[in-house]
Amino acid sequence: MTTQLAWFRNDLRLADHAALIAAADRGTVAALFVLDDETPGAWKMGAAQRWWLHHSLVSLSRSIAERGGRLILRRGRAGPIVKALAAELRAEVHTLVHHEPWAVAQEDEAGTVTRHHGTTLAPPATVLSGTGGRYRIFTPWWRKLLEQMPPPRPRPVPDLRWADVGAISSDDLASWALLPTKPDWSGGFRDWQPGEAGAAARLADFARRAARYDEARNLPSVEGTSRLSPHLALGEISINTAWHAIADAVGERVAEPWLRELGWRDFSANIIDQFPDHGDAPNREAFARFPFLDDPAGYQAWCKGQTGYPIVDAGMRQLWETGWMHNRVRMITASFLVKHQLIDWRLGERWFWDTLLDADYGNNAQGWQWVMGSGVDSSPFNRIFAPVGQSAKFAAAGYIRRWVPELAKLPDDAIHAPWEAGVALIRAGVKLGRDYPAPIVNHEAARARALQAWAAVKAA
């Protein structure tokens, strides 16, 4: 019986894992995960997600051990490591296809690898227009994807027979130092439960709330979203499992707004499959000459939630504390950085990459380029979110009180713009510039400056 090497990457689960199922069907299985910070062009996993990775690998190792196996851990350039281990074991290699440019490079360097679909609803190259071309706009792409939906039903953990890997060396997970030491900034992460069981619990919780998703998803003060994104980012649950669980719970018609969000995740994979440098280079040439400002102090104020705009500061503080931010607020904070502050979108993208537990190259790049207006399918640059208006429109008072406690005593009608609160500010005992920052920019002036900058770019 031949040995089959199941190479895990950002797909840290046993259920509905096509590469593992194929390996189990063909022989005895050896399991491998490689922490790769060395492949050229790789975006080194951010600090927050490394915390998640540690706990997810603990969970996966335990699940494999409970079934009589052992997860081999290695650190270094993945391609050569996989190739060498496959030769040592005389094993065939199976892995799920990933679309990040460095993941493609890893597969190419690994030698003979059998690639299996299992990270998207459909392989990006199969969602084609009537003329056989690739889509760059979400709406027609989504319509075309729906012709292939629903995806296959998820498959259970296969019957696994393990290869004898007792003599094979494996790193000690602790030696990777994925967890923060001093200071330990991860205290706010402890409400999360990384791992396959945690993903299943999160999905079950959302299934009970999914019927209200469309009306609640834009309200940061309520628990309206699924919070599945960190589990999906590291593949602790398959996208097929997520689709069917929610469609079964509430029906596909009611589930459609959330299923579209799964679709957006797939669409982002479609974009980076076509444009591998989407995380670094604007897709629209005009934005390569955009006059961004060099403003380190303003950038730090944004990162730390000290801009003087409560909805922006609440979002940035939530991100730092919990490793996650409400999606509506992600758009508001991103727009504020690039349009109110005129700071390069790539700085914001990198901050999100380092601080988000759900950091995903395609989603992150697509989201930032959408806000900037520089992506293949994006919002026009002149769509500039008014943070005060957005805060009031989406009833963010409770959210602000949670994350900006300095303003907790302000009434709802004053908390969105405390510099206009007048007597309410005095009654709340808040002094701007002492207890909470004054706005670092004026909205109207910043908006005019941004539009002027864009007009100059178009005229050049």
Question: Is there a single domain that holds both residue 381 and residue 412?
Answer: yes
Torsion angle defined by CA atoms of residues 369, 371, 373 and 379, in that order, rounded to the nearest 10 degrees: 120
Question: Is there a single domain that holds both residue 74 and residue 218?
Answer: no
Of 70, 98, 118, which closes a domain?
Answer: 118
Confirm whether 439 is domain-assigned.
Answer: yes
Q: How many helices (H) and strands (E) does the chain have?
A: 20, 5
Question: Is there a single domain that holds both residue 53 and residue 133?
Answer: no
How many Cα atoms occupy the beta-carbon half-sphere of 127 within 13 Å? Answer: 29
pLDDT in tens, 221-245: 999 999 999 999 999 999 999 999 9
- Residue 90 Cα distances to 8, 86, 113, 244, 335, angstroms: 18, 6, 13, 38, 52
Confirm whether 180 is domain-assigned.
Answer: no
Q: Is residue 3 within a helix (H) or strand (E), and if so which, with residue range?
A: strand 3-8
Task: Quote the pTM value.
Answer: 0.97
Confirm whether 166 is domain-assigned.
Answer: no
Q: Is residue 33 within a helix (H) or strand (E), and if so which, with residue range?
A: strand 28-35
Task: Spell out a b/e string for 185-215, using b for 16 or more CB atoms within 10 Å of the CB, else e.
Answer: ebeebeebbbbbebbbebbeebbebbeebee
Cross-strand bridge partners of residue 92 = 4
Question: Is there a single domain that holds both residue 293 and residue 311?
Answer: yes
Confirm whether 182 is domain-assigned.
Answer: no
Residue 432 tokens, joined: 């701007």
Confirm whether 183 is domain-assigned.
Answer: no
pLDDT in tens, 361-418: 999 999 999 999 999 988 899 999 999 999 999 999 999 999 999 999 999 999 999 9
Confirm whether 98 is domain-assigned.
Answer: yes
3-state helix, strand, coil in the chain (%, to 5): 50, 5, 40
Question: Is there a single domain that holds both residue 217 and residue 81?
Answer: no
The total number of structural domains in the chain stands at 3
Residues with Cβ within 8 Å of residue 235, at least 6 apart in sequence? 9, 10, 11, 12, 13, 96, 119
SS3 72: strand
The burial of 291, by beta-carbon neighbours within 10 Å (0-12 exposed, 13-18 middle, 19 or more buried), is given as: exposed
We report the CATH number of the domain holding residue 351 as: 1.10.579.10
Question: Is there a single domain that holds both residue 331 and residue 448?
Answer: yes
Question: Is there a single domain that holds both residue 105 and residue 124?
Answer: no
Q: What gap in Å lies between CA 205 and CA 356, rounded to an integer?
A: 21
Considering only CA atoms, which of 51, 53, 45, 72 is closest in space to residue 61? Answer: 72
Residue 182 pLDDT: 83
The answer to whether 13 and 238 are in contact (CB under 8 A) is: yes
Look up the domain containing 11 and give its range: 3-118
Confirm whether 214 is domain-assigned.
Answer: yes
The answer to whether 346 and 257 are in contact (CB under 8 A) is: no
Of 118, 144, 161, which closes a domain?
Answer: 118
Helix-helix angle 196-209:239-250, to 10 degrees: 30
Question: Is there a single domain that holds both residue 135 and residue 239?
Answer: yes
Question: Is there a single domain that holds both residue 239 and residue 104?
Answer: no
Residue 1 pLDDT: 76
Of 274, 299, 323, which closes a domain?
Answer: 274
Question: Is there a single domain that holds both residue 251 and residue 322?
Answer: no
Question: Is there a single domain that holds both residue 113 and residue 124?
Answer: no
**Identity at 333, one-letter amino acid code:** T
We report the CATH number of the domain holding residue 229 as: 1.25.40.80
Question: Is there a single domain that holds both residue 97 and residue 73?
Answer: yes
Sequence length of the chain is 460
Q: Which residues of the chain have pLDDT under 70?
A: none
| Helices assigned H by DSSP within 118-159 | 138-146
Residue 378 pLDDT: 87
Considering only CA atoms, which of 398, 400, 409, 346 is closest in space to residue 372? Answer: 346
Q: Is residue 352 within a helix (H) or strand (E), and if so which, with residue range?
A: helix 345-355
Confirm whether 175 is domain-assigned.
Answer: no
We report the CATH number of the domain holding residue 111 as: 3.40.50.620
